[in-house]
Amino acid sequence: MDLGLKGRRVVVAGASRGIGKAIALAFAAEGCAVSICARGAGALEAARAEIAALGGVVHAATCDLSDNAAIASYIPAAAAAMGGGIDILVNNATGGGRTDDEPSWEASLGVDLMATVRGSREALPFLEKGRDAAIINIASGAGINPAVRNAAYGASKAAVIHYTKTQAATLARKGIRVNCIAPGSVEFPGGSWEKRKTDAPELYNRILNAIPAGRLGKPEEIARVVVFIASPMANWMTAQTMQVNGGQGFGR
């Protein structure tokens, strides 16, 4: 299926590995120009090279997404590198706050929520001039169901889901669609669930056994949904949160 994305200019914030990198690769495979950012230069360059192998325009820049000034610098640079515009913004970054303490709350609110707010704000002047403009925010199933193990992360993702609806209502008349993806537990090399498989097998197996599909997800499975929802094929869809989780949370 031709999703009609060829030539679109896409920013994926937080894309050096896992879901973010898979999203960037999926857009590049559709013929989009792509800009990615992350804090770690080494992983970012490896991701850039992998995306570049698909052909097309690829821009990468280190950016601390907890820093308002860094975001304000990165977004215009990304637009310039892609010919002066942005058509699609994917807010994917996470601060990784996993405990119920002050540093975790600061990390989750500062990145999961505020990087979404700030990235959207900086990209808005470009999106207003974009082609079939869309914002996709990456939340989590932890933002929908109680997050006993990671209260700060879950609350921040719940805020992203609510903010998505507000953005969608605010930007609809500007022709900008805003939707949200809430992934379930996704496993990839170097990710938290791969580590838990070794370090906390009891937790890993408890989560695994609660997923009706019988396995954890893959980054590519999230990316395919993101690309479709961002495409003109879903051009009457806005203000929605799509759970992509193999039935996780619905019993087995």
The residues assigned a catalytic role are 153
First to last CA, the chain: 33
CA distances from 91 to 61, 116, 242, 246 (A): 15, 6, 15, 22
Can you read off the two tokens belonging to residue 129?
A: 């001039």
Can you read off the two tokens belonging to residue 191?
A: 């990710």
* Contact (CB, 8 A) for 33 and 83: yes
To which residue do tokens 């989750």 refer? 108
Instruction: Provide DSSP, 60-108.
Output: EEE--TT-HHHHHHHHHHHHHHTTS--SEEEE-------SSSHHHHHHI
SS3 of 137, please? Answer: strand
Distance CA 148, CA 125 (A): 39
Distance CA 98, CA 153 (A): 6
